[in-house]
Structures are given as structure tokens and as C-alpha cells.
């Protein structure tokens, strides 16, 4: 038995025909969808990139404890659990956040790992001399990204294609072996949307304005023609990586390994490209475009192909599912549930609701019918703490503002390992990151799929508050989170 997990970053399910999308060319993802079980109510947990990956590798939603950061020394990970069962694991990726400060110990937990350089701000191409920046542009332009782009002379030079080709090469050498777990992870279609011109030409893009390949996070601040252009750039980048995924599928078929292989296709989160008058992520409410993510699972021999599952699932369920199919023990720290019963028709649901969000922002819950976004009750977001034994975060360190207020102790119920308790809010000081999300909202997804009309319904809100409390309790939420959200 083998498991191959294919993961794209920032994949909007509404771009895929399997989820009703139109206009984006993804023939190979469509091909996989035809052979797979499709999950309609699959949700992220912790956002964005690295928090989502910690969820995937530990089977726990960690965003109530901390945000962006490394795998903790007390985390019991998927690759480590596989190793204990004698199962080899390998990851091939171009996601450079794994190798920046705040991305420690993810790839290193695999038996082997393979990293392909050049995405976004990866400090790869070394040049003291700066390239000239455009006089006018929309969105973001970053010097290191422009230096990296000088290496992309051919399509094969782009990091996404290099990553998928490396996965094909690994399978050529190892694919027919038994009992391994392979993760194939492409950063595309994450911004900036870099792709050869011939993919952009597929979308009849005639844009002639200032350069725009990397949207800012926040309210749309570009003219309609630029917004249309960035949407086409996203589609073109997705079409490019789909083309290379086709090579990976071809390799699996040619090696004739699919009869005894579990194939998983998913993402970490989506991205806004004009929906809700916003672009990006991180600073706004976690709308469905961000949190309701695609999941396709191809069972060995293509069993149950074409089945659609309506039960609520989320990313923390993938670790126990993989361990279940691979015959490995599931650690008692895992909060997710194996999806095997859903996949094989012996179970109707694994959870009542999915809990998701960013650390220190709204805490969100959905039962598939309603989505509820619970905002902090005060502008200072007090009280809020990060709990970690490794105080790194996105390219920086936690606690530098007020180190004298950091405590250390055994604050987490599921481990005896001591951690730092680091204040992330100060009483009376406005917490700027919450500027877009200071309003609690309820949406009826059955009648308002695109979340355009917040609902006033006391009975529905009361039920969602009950689900929120239950989900937070199951997740082991620190007590101050209930105070922060006005739930205490």
C-alpha cells in the first residue's frame, strides 16, 4: 500500500469544474476528479500556509494556540508516525517557507526531502546589484522575486514544473516499491502569478496597463481591467501547474501502481481575487473562498469513483486517514478523524462542524449549512497569547515587543513540555490586524452561498455559538480565547 498526496497552494475550488467552476483550463485535475471521491464540505483549519501544514502533519487545529511557526518538539507528526510503522516518507516541494524562519522541522520529519528554489521571495539568486523597478505598477513588486525570475528562461525552469518533474523522477526510481508516503507539493498557483506567456494567451489577455502579478492584501484598489488581468494570471498559472500534474498522473499510470495506491489531491486555502471587494488573504474575514477547499481522494483501483461526500470534513482528518489506510497507529494527540468510513460507505459523518481561522482573529465554525464568524469583543483583542516552545514566526521571532511579559510553564494540557506564553495583545492598545474583522457575522450558505448578506437569526446564531463552544473545547482552546470572543 502506498499513498501519494498532491498539494497545490492557494487553490480556489471555484476554479475547478469538479466544483462547478467554469473558464479555467485544468484538464488533468478534471481527469483525476473523474477517478476520485469528491468532498463537497471540506474545510481548512489553521490559516495561512504554515499553520495549515502544521494541521496536516499533526492532525490538530493549532490556530487557537499560535499562528505561523515551526513544528513543535512535542508535536507527533504524520511522517514520524509512519516511520514508527516502518513506512518510508518523501516530500518534494518548492514551498520555500519551509526553509525560512518560522518553518522549522516540517520537511526534516520526512525520511528524505527535495527542495526546488525560486518561488516568491526565496533568497535564491544572489546579486548585490538591484534590478531596476518599474516606474508604475499595481500590487507588489519585490527585488528578490525579480532576481529569481531571471532564471526562468524556459517553462522547465519555473519552480513548479521543476518540482513536479522531480516527483516523476522519484517515482521512476521508487514508484513500484511498497509502503511509502510521497508528498508532491507545488507553490503554484500562489501569488505572484508567474507563468510563460503562452498560458496567459489561452485566456485572451490583452491587458496593457502597469505590471500587476502580485495583489496586495486588502480592499481592491485597482481598475477593473487590472483586476481582470490578475484573475487571468491566476488562471494561467493554475493551467501551467495542471499541465505538469498531468505528467505525474501519466507516470503513475505507466508504472501501473494505482491499483494499490491512495491518491489525495488538496490545498491549504484559497485566495480572494475581487470577491467581497477584497484581494488576498490574512486581513479579512475567512470567507468560503478561503476556507472551503477542494479535496479529491482516488481509492485503490478507482473504487467509488464519482461519489460525492456531503459530510463536513477538514484538513486535520487527512493524517488519521493516511495512517488508517497505511496500517499505522494514530497518535492519541490527533483531533481529526479517519475518512475511511466515509470513503467506503460505512459511515455518514465524522464531525458536527469544522473550526477554522487565523490566530488572534475571528474564530469561525460551519456545520455546512451556516457559517459563523465570531469576532473579538474589544478592539485591543485582549487577552490573546501564543503558546510555543519555538518562538519563531513568519521570518521573525515572537515576543520582541515586551519580553518582560513572557511567561514559561506547562500551559498546554496535551503535553508536559514547557512552553512560552507570549502576549499577542496589550490591554487598551488597538490591535491593528483585526481592522477588517471586528464584526461578528452569520451566513446561511444554503440561500447565500457567496456570503453577500449577513443573516440576523437569533436561533441560528445560538446553535452556531453552541457548536463553536463545543469545537473550541474539543480543540483544547486556551481559556482566554473564550474571554476574547465574549463566550466566557
Q: Each residue of 135-162: pLDDT tens digit?
A: 999 999 999 999 999 999 999 999 999 9
Q: What phi and psi, each to the nearest 5 degrees, are found at residue 352?
A: -80, -35
pLDDT > 70 in the chain, percent: 99
For residue 402, is pLDDT > 90? no
Q: Using one digit for the tens of pLDDT, what is the confidence trace for 321-348? A: 999 999 999 999 999 999 999 999 999 9
- By CB neighbour count within 10 A (0-12 exposed, 13-18 middle, 19+ buried), where does 388 fall? buried
Distances (CA, A) of 158 to 13, 42, 92, 170, 475: 24, 30, 15, 18, 39
For residue 267, is pLDDT > 70? yes
Are 398 and 389 spatial neighbours (Cβ–Cβ below 8 Å)?
no
pTM (two decimals): 0.97
Q: Using one digit for the tens of pLDDT, what is the confidence trace for 355-372? A: 999 999 999 999 999 999
Q: Which pLDDT score is estimated for 435? A: 65
Domain residue ranges of the chain, discontinuous segments joined by +: 2-343, 354-484
Nearest partner of 262 among 302, 316, 318, 300, judged by Cα:
300
Just give the CATH number of 2-343: 3.40.720.10
Are 316 and 61 spatial neighbours (Cβ–Cβ below 8 Å)?
yes
Q: Which pLDDT score is estimated for 428? A: 76
Q: What is the H or E stretch that residue 122 is in?
A: none
Q: What is the mean pLDDT of the chain?
A: 96
Residue with more model confidence, 428 or 126: 126
Q: Which pLDDT score is estimated for 438? A: 86
Q: Using one digit for the tens of pLDDT, what is the confidence trace for 76-98? A: 999 999 999 999 999 999 999 99
Residue with more model confidence, 352 or 429: 352
- How many CB atoms are located within 10 Å of the residue 85 CB? 12
Are 29 and 35 spatial neighbours (Cβ–Cβ below 8 Å)?
no
For residue 60, is pLDDT > 80? yes
187 three-state secondary structure: coil
Q: Using one digit for the tens of pLDDT, what is the confidence trace for 420-449? A: 999 998 887 766 666 678 899 999 999 999
Amino acid at each position: 500500500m502506498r499513498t501519494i498526496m498532491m498539494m497545490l497552494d492557494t487553490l480556489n475550488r471555484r476554479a475547478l469544474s469538479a466544483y462547478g467552476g467554469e473558464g479555467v483550463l485544468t484538464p488533468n485535475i478534471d481527469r483525476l476528479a473523474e477517478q476520485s471521491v469528491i468532498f463537497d464540505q471540506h474545510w481548512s483549519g489553521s490559516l495561512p500556509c504554515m499553520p495549515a501544514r502544521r494541521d496536516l502533519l499533526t492532525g490538530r487545529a493549532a490556530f487557537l494556540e499560535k499562528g505561523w511557526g515551526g513544528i513543535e518538539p512535542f508535536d507527533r507528526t504524520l511522517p514520524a508516525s509512519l516511520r514508527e510503522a516502518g513506512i518510508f516518507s518523501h516530500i518534494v516541494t518548492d514551498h520555500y517557507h519551509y526553509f525560512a524562519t518560522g518553518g522549522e522541522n516540517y520537511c526534516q520529519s520526512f525520511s528524505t526531502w527535495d527542495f526546488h528554489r525560486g518561488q516568491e521571495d526565496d533568497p535564491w539568486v544572489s546579486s548585490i546589484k538591484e534590478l531596476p523597478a518599474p516606474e508604475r505598477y499595481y500590487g507588489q513588486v519585490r527585488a528578490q522575486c525579480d532576481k529569481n525570475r531571471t532564471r526562468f528562461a524556459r517553462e522547465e525552469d519555473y519552480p513548479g514544473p521543476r518540482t513536479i518533474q522531480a516527483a516523476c523522477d522519484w517515482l521512476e526510481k521508487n514508484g513500484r516499491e511498497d509502503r511509502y508516503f510521497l508528498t508532491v507539493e507545488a507553490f503554484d498557483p500562489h501569488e505572484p502569478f508567474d507563468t510563460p506567456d503562452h498560458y496567459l494567451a489561452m485566456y485572451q489577455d490583452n491587458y496593457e496597463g502597469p505590471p500587476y502579478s502580485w495583489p496586495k492584501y486588502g480592499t481592491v484598489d485597482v481598475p477593473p481591467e487590472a483586476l481582470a488581468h490578475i484573475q487571468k494570471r491566476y488562471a494561467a498559472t493554475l493551467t501551467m501547474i495542471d499541465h505538469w500534474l498531468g505528467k505525474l498522473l501519466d507516470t503513475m499510470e505507466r508504472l501501473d501502481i494505482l491499483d494499490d495506491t491512495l491518491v489525495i489531491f488538496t490545498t491549504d486555502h484559497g485566495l480572494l481575487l475581487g470577491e467581497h471587494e477584497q484581494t488576498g488573504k490574512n486581513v479579512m474575514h475567512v470567507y468560503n473562498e478561503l476556507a472551503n477547499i477542494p479535496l479529491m481522494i482516488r481509492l485503490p483501483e478507482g473504487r467509488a469513483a464519482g461519489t460525492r461526500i456531503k459530510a463536513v470534513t477538514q484538513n486535520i482528518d487527512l493524517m488519521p486517514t493516511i495512517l488508517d489506510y497505511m496500517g499505522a497507529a494514530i497518535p492519541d494527540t490527533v483531533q481529526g478523524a479517519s475518512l475511511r468510513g466515509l470513503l467506503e460507505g460505512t459511515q455518514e459523518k465524522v464531525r458536527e462542524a469544522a473550526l477554522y481561522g487565523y490566530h488572534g482573529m475571528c474564530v469561525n465554525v460551519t456545520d455546512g449549512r451556516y457559517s459563523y464568524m465570531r469576532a473579538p469583543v474589544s478592539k485591543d483583542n485582549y487577552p490573546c497569547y501564543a503558546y510555543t516552545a519555538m518562538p519563531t514566526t513568519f521570518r521573525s521571532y515572537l515576543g520582541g515587543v515586551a519580553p518582560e511579559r513572557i511567561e514559561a510553564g506547562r500551559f498546554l494540557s496535551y503535553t508536559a513540555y514547557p512552553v512560552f506564553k507570549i502576549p499577542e495583545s496589550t490591554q487598551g492598545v488597538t490591535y491593528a490586524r483585526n481592522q477588517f474583522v471586528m464584526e461578528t457575522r452569520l451566513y446561511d450558505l444554503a440561500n447565500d452561498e457567496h456570503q453577500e448578506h449577513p443573516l440576523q437569526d437569533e436561533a441560528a446564531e445560538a446553535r452556531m455559538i453552541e457548536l463553536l463552544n463545543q469545537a473550541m473545547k474539543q480543540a483544547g482552546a486556551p481559556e482566554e480565547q473564550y474571554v476574547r470572543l465574549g463566550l466566557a
